[in-house]
Amino acid sequence: MAGRKSAVLRRIVNKDGHNNVCIDNVEGMVKLYLHDIWTTAVDMKWRYKLTLFASTFIMTWFIFGVIFYIIGMGNGDFEPGLSSNHTPCVLNVQTLTGAFLFSLESQTTIGYGFRCISEACPLAIFTPVAQLVITGLAEIFATGAFLAKLVRPKKRAETIKLGQSAVVCRRRGQLCLMLRVANMRKSLLIQSQLTGKLFQSNVTEEGEKTQIHQSSVDFHMDSSGESPFLILPLTFYHVLDERSPLSGLTAENLLTRDFELLVTLNATMESTAAMCQSRTSYVPQEILWGYEFKPALFSTPSGRYVANFKFFDKVQASNDPAFVSNNTEKLKLEEDYKKK
């Protein structure tokens, strides 16, 4: 039983929407990531991103500092007892530290005026030109990747709240699976669409067993089929009829079924017209049979509406007579399942 319970709780997508699938044994993974270096840089974690951003500057300063130092060595600028008519390639640079400081001053256009290039070395003249071109491109890439990650629509999706649990109750005389969605910012989300995917094992007519089979689960706000106005907490529903992938779901077999329902909300931000996506998933233990959501929208005497998120995830037993008679038996089944 412990093994079966562990299998039921296995998730493809975590509650916070992050992918829980590990990719392993891919041949040439590093080559694939480097081939699409922009996506790799944008998808980096912040600690790696900050390291890349800082190292881009530090390494280019150091590399070209070494180049200037090698040019000086080739010109004999660091040899003792130089004649008075010897013109060094870079004036006032006698050590690698000085060459590093000159590289830094050149790349950042500080130009203190103490260190400078003479006209005696064409290679030394060409090097800062190459440095500004190469490091300029590197800095544009690092800065662009940094800003792209900072302004990703993914951050906006974190202010879209999907309910921690789903409920099964009746709506307009039909048995429905219902869940809540809310926008926690005043900025609007337009063209909102909620879709679902059901992951479960499946056996084909030919006897082939699929460990993870995907089925589409349609969610509706009302019968119009239009995109809802996501400014208030909304409840979406899926009808559990014979066309549903969840057909045959009952209070008795809910906790013994092995499936995961992935819910995805796609919306467009009104301010930037960028698409954002929020995801979560529900396993059978997070679907409450015979319950309904408590009201989370209230009106004030001043004529305003208040969305109280204290009640967003609160549920209450349904008053439908079809569920009242089964509540006691359902609670007993849940307690027995938890004990096992």
pLDDT of residue 207: 64
pLDDT of residue 332: 53
Task: Report whether pLDDT(6) > 70.
Answer: no
pLDDT of residue 225: 56
pLDDT tens-digit series, residues 289-316: 989 999 888 888 888 888 888 889 898 8
pLDDT tens-digit series, residues 97-156: 999 999 999 888 888 878 888 888 899 999 999 999 999 998 899 888 888 887 777 777
pLDDT of residue 200: 86
What span, in angstroms and rounded, lies between the C-alpha atoms of 103 and 36? 30
Determine if the pTM surpasses 0.85. Answer: no
**Contact (CB, 8 A) for 283 and 260:** yes
**Contact (CB, 8 A) for 122 and 147:** no
Q: At what angle do helices 122-150 and 46-74 cross, to 10 degrees?
A: 180
Task: Report whether pLDDT(5) > 70.
Answer: no
What are the DSSP E strand ranges found in the chain? Answer: 90-91, 116-117, 160-162, 166-171, 174-183, 189-203, 209-218, 234-239, 259-269, 275-282, 287-289, 291-293, 297-299, 305-307, 315-317
Residue 286 DSSP one-character state: G
For 266, the token pair is 């796609």
User: In whole angstroms, how far apart are CA 162 and each of 167, 179, 195, 265, 301?
Assistant: 13, 8, 13, 9, 29
**Contact (CB, 8 A) for 117 and 87:** no
Task: Select the highest-mean-pLDDT range: 142-151, 253-262, 266-275.
Answer: 253-262
For 19, the token pair is 């992918």
Q: At what angle do helices 122-150 and 96-107 cross, to 10 degrees?
A: 60
Domains and CATH numbers, the chain: 29-150 (1.10.287.70), 155-339 (2.60.40.1400)
Give the 3-state secondary structure of residue 37.
helix
Among candidate residues 269, 185, 255, 262, the one with its CA nearest the CA of residue 217: 262
